[in-house]
Structure 1
Amino acid sequence: MARDVRSVVEVRRSRRRTATVSAYRDGDRTIIAIPARFSHAQEQEWVAKMLARLEDKERRRHPSDDELLARARELSERYLEGRARPTSVRWSANQGRRWGSCTLVDGSIRISTRVQGMPSWVIDYVLLHELAHLLHPGHGPEFWRLLEGYPRTDRARGFLDGVAYRQEAPAPDLPPEHAAGRPTPSLAGDGARRAPAGAAG
């Protein structure tokens, strides 16, 4: 879900910044950097704009189940000629090491909650991967041909491989003097084993 817009907003004016405005989250704070020359009215205008942009970006990274279904149908129309027709698409916390799964009998798709917060183009790839499974259950040549039209297939597969690797990689051995106070590594979800490239389902 999108972050609460009522979090603390900190506006930072910079003399080195002449025209650009940037915004990012830092814990519970939202930092908005603006040129020092901006008037109070310009500051208010740009704070409102940047908060809206952040909220939109975060919403796209945390779509609801209904939004997932709508997006899946759009992707099917665009890349699969509308042939994949999911009956439901929802987030699921019990996908094991998979990024997603589908049931051919009823056309339902489940997307791992580990995907939440990832870039929208990665979410699109995982959705498209499961949509393709509604047409081809396995991972043979015909299956992968269905994904050739999506321009970020290779990039998304690489992204997911990187996430899986990071989740399974052991913590580096540190000398005893550095071990004290070291944060305990945590795994997102239960991705303790690397998933095969592109193995969304």
Structure 2
Amino acid sequence: FGYDARDAAKHGAGHPEFWFYITVASLYFSGLMEDVDHICSYPGHTDTPKKITANGLESILARLGKCTRASYLHDLILRHSTAAKSQPIKASDRLFKNQLSTIRLNKFPHSNLAANARKTPISLRGKRVLVVDDMITSGRSIESARAYIEAAGGQVTMFGWLKTISAPYMALNAPIPGLKPYEINTITNEPASTAHSYQAGVIAQNAAAELDDMLKRFVAWNI
């Protein structure tokens, strides 16, 4: 099922409707959406904006926002400089500062894929933001998003579409001193972090088999 999920997240291919239903059900019935004010996705590794397609991740998240009355801000997090892509590089070269130094927050994001950006600057103080990343390798990307949103006074819930099973999740130990959330920051010192084992973090051991079975039944479903 991982190939189908990746194709849905990256290209709007595979069976995006299935993953939309799974995502909405997981977030809703887990209670994670109860206090979420905004939803945003993490940008790609280049400074070129993602192309928004009818069946892509952005459209799915916009629909999730409508279902839960949370505004979807696809460009809340901006990539101002290209960063090294995590998957193909060595684990030792995956650094927080590569992410922290290449993103910033946008004061005037678009709401729910609207044609025009908001006219007044957004305030995240006291707001909870659901940050969604399509592919989590080590967690440094989504943790960097958390650092920026918390620096702006917000709170963060993080959701990963897919996770590389061979890499531990790296969590920041503390806020980044002096981080200016809406400006370009140059981070020279690698911040302290804690590694969390992938296997130790798996709560539902049968989840993979259950997802695979559900996807097969969805594909074979005749309405």
TM-score for the superposition, normalised by structure 1: 0.27
TM-score norm. by structure 2 comes to 0.25
Which protein has greater RCO, CA pairs closer than 8 Å, 6+ apart?
Answer: 2
Query: Comparing both structures, which one devotes a greater share of its residues to helix?
Result: 1
Find the structure with the greater CA-based Rg. Answer: 1
